[in-house]
């Protein structure tokens, strides 16, 4: 993927951003991953234009070996605060629910605000459910929601999936959703989840894959934004197309009885489409994303605003819709 565009001054950045707090959780320092590569050719007077030309190799991908892993979406973004908070076990953990039984103990790694964890806790009640996340802000949100629901079998704690603070063989089930895609070394997290899982216990992991997005109408500005978002993701941490390698990663970790499926989170109904578009439009004005895009020369403020306008216009089209691809895998510890 090549990006043709112009540079933008730091003064434009300061004058044009809506300020949001940006968190940078330190998980681990790991080698780079493979994914799409973005290069920049500067042509004065031209807005950025994106062209796909294949995958980057380990040699050409951005070297992230000296960078602490971070969360590409941002903990205070509309994506996290609005869209992720609407996730539910009945949808996002549907592949795992048939494996859960009353009385099981369960660990949710990277639980965020706990919207999925709460449903999982209901599935295994009165068994104990623990949700961990590196973000203390998200854990406080999760605790508040659980308290409001008066749930007694759920506990939320700040924790690191790459260094879990639990003894070996502690849980009957381990769950993770949209976490490994953000890590430079997902194998380390998988090893930790496997370590705390009891022999015979079930693990269920679901991750998104940006290579499977469906967008209608396929307007250039909308497609360009997805390419831009994926390119930015690579500059932060992880691999936005890791999900397709999830079955292999679990198999190589020694997990048995793998069951693989794929599903989409679909935004077609008017309220769902509006939600997705509002979240996407907000991202164009969130400080962490905009600063990275501008400082990296990936797009100008004018180009970002054009993309934002295109999303808002698409939301008004009766048959516009978006689908986000996910891969989900369950396995057993031998």
DSSP labels for 197-258?
EEEEEEEEEEEE-GGG-EEES--HHHHHHHHHHHHHHHHHSS-TTGGGGHHHHHHHTT-EEE
pTM given for the model: 0.77
- pLDDT value of residue 74: 53
pLDDT of 276 over the 60 cut: yes
pLDDT of 20 over the 60 cut: no
Instruction: Name the pLDDT band for 286 (thresholds 50, 70, 90).
Output: confident
Residue 154: name the closest of 143, 139, 164 by CA.
143
- pLDDT value of residue 10: 32
Q: Is domain 2-331 classified as CATH 3.40.50.150?
A: yes
Dist CA 96 CA 219 (whole Å)? 36
- pLDDT value of residue 76: 56
Average pLDDT, the chain: 80
Q: Could you give phi then psi for residue 188, rounded to 5 degrees?
A: -65, -40
Instruction: Name the pLDDT band for 138 (thresholds 50, 70, 90).
Output: confident
Dist CA 243 CA 114 (whole Å)? 22
pLDDT of 60 over the 60 cut: no
pLDDT of 101 over the 70 cut: yes
Q: Which of 73-77, 107-111, 148-152, 315-319 has the highest mean pLDDT?
A: 107-111
> Range with the lowest mean pLDDT among 15-24, 188-197, 280-289, 304-313?
15-24
pLDDT of 212 over the 90 cut: yes
pLDDT of 26 over the 90 cut: no
pLDDT of 78 over the 60 cut: no
Contacts of 324 (CB under 8 A, 6+ apart): 208, 212, 213, 264, 265, 267
pLDDT of 57 over the 80 cut: no
Mean pLDDT for the stretch of residues 246-258: 98
- pLDDT value of residue 43: 30
What is the tens place of the pLDDT at every residue in 147-196? 999 999 999 999 999 999 999 999 999 999 999 999 999 999 999 999 99
Mean pLDDT for the stretch of residues 25-52: 31
- pLDDT value of residue 83: 62
Q: Where are the chain's structural domains?
A: 2-331
Dist CA 201 CA 162 (whole Å)? 19
- What percentage of residues in the chain have a pLDDT greater than 90? 65
- pLDDT value of residue 164: 97
pLDDT of 253 over the 80 cut: yes
- pLDDT value of residue 55: 27
Contacts of 98 (CB under 8 A, 6+ apart): none
pLDDT of 59 over the 70 cut: no
Size (the chain), residues: 334
């Amino acid at each position: 993927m090549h990006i043709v565009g112009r540079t933008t001054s730091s003064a434009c950045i300061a004058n044009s951003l809506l300020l949001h707090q940006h968190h940078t959780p330190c998980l681990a320092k790991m080698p780079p991953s493979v994914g799409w590569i973005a290069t920049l050719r500067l042509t004065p007077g031209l807005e950025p234009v994106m062209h796909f030309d294949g995958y980057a190799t380990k040699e050409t991908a951005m070297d992230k070996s000296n960078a602490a892993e971070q969360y590409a979406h941002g903990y205070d973004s509309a994506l996290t605060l609005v869209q992720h908070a609407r996730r539910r076990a009945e949808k996002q953990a549907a592949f795992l629910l048939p494996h859960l039984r009353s009385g099981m103990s369960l660990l949710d790694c990277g639980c965020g605000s706990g919207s999925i964890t709460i449903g999982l806790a209901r599935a295994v009640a009165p068994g104990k459910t623990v949700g961990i996340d590196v973000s203390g802000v998200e854990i406080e949100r999760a605790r508040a929601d659980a308290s409001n629901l008066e749930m007694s079998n759920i506990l939320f704690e700040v924790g690191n999936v790459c260094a879990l603070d639990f003894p070996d063989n502690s849980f009957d089930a381990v769950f993770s959703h949209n976490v490994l895609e953000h890590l430079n070394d997902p194998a380390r997290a998988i090893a930790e989840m496997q370590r705390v899982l009891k022999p015979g216990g079930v693990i269920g992991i679901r991750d998104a894959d940006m290579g499977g997005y469906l967008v209608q109408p396929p307007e250039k500005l909308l497609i360009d934004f997805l390419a831009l978002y994926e390119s930015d993701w690579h500059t932060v941490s992880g691999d936005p197309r890791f999900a397709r390698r999830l079955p292999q990663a679990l198999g190589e970790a020694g997990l048995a009885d793998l069951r693989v499926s794929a599903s989409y989170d679909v935004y077609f109904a008017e309220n769902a489409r509006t939600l997705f578009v509002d979240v996407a439009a907000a991202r164009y004005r969130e400080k962490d994303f905009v600063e990275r895009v501008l400082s990296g020369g990936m797009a100008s403020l004018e180009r970002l605003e054009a993309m934002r306008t295109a999303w808002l216009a698409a939301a008004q089209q009766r048959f516009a819709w978006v689908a986000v691809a996910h891969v989900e895998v369950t396995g057993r510890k031998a």
